[in-house]
């Protein structure tokens, strides 16, 4: 498996970053994931995936302004890079091809 290969959770995190948009930092990303998959997501797991994705060059981060409600700490915002967007599209196309025409996924039996 290549260093750039995406795990299932990493792909979901990339999609959540895209869904959240310009305000994509840990908590809203985790909430977007929870809404999509219908179960709790550990914030630590989201941050671990974000670190992996940044090391793969699929996202980039930037710091916002420090805020009083965060004890003077700044939020770290995330955005997909061109590489991250390309890998996300490739995963979408590959999964669509794999899902296409499978009776078990179209209401038929396995």
Instruction: List pLDDT tens digits, range 18-77.
Output: 999 988 999 999 999 999 999 999 999 999 999 999 999 999 999 988 777 777 788 899
- CA-wise closest residue to 57 among 19, 100, 10: 10
Whether residue 66 lies inside any domain: the answer is: yes
For residue 35, what are its two tokens? 């809404």
Q: What is the pLDDT of residue 77?
A: 95
Range of the domain at 72: 8-95
Given a cut of 60, whether residue 107 has pLDDT beyond it is: yes
Given a cut of 80, whether residue 108 has pLDDT beyond it is: no
Whether residue 100 lies inside any domain: the answer is: no
CATH number of the domain bearing residue 70? 1.10.10.10
Whether residue 52 lies inside any domain: the answer is: yes
What pTM does this model have? 0.86
User: What separation in angstroms does the CA of 84 have from each of 3, 4, 15, 51, 99?
Assistant: 13, 10, 10, 13, 22
Given a cut of 80, whether residue 3 has pLDDT beyond it is: no
């Amino acid at each position: 498996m290549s260093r750039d290969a995406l795990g299932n959770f990493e792909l979901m995190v990339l999609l959540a970053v895209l869904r959240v948009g310009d305000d994509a930092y840990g908590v809203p990303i985790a909430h977007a994931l929870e809404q999509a998959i219908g179960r709790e997501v550990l914030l630590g797991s989201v941050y671990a995936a974000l670190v992996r994705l940044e090391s793969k060059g699929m996202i980039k981060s930037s710091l916002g302004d420090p805020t009083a409600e965060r004890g003077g700490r700044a939020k770290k915002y995330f955005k997909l890079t061109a590489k991250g967007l390309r890998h996300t599209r490739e995963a979408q196309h590959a999964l669509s091809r794999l899902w296409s025409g499978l009776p078990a996924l179209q209401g038929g039996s396995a």
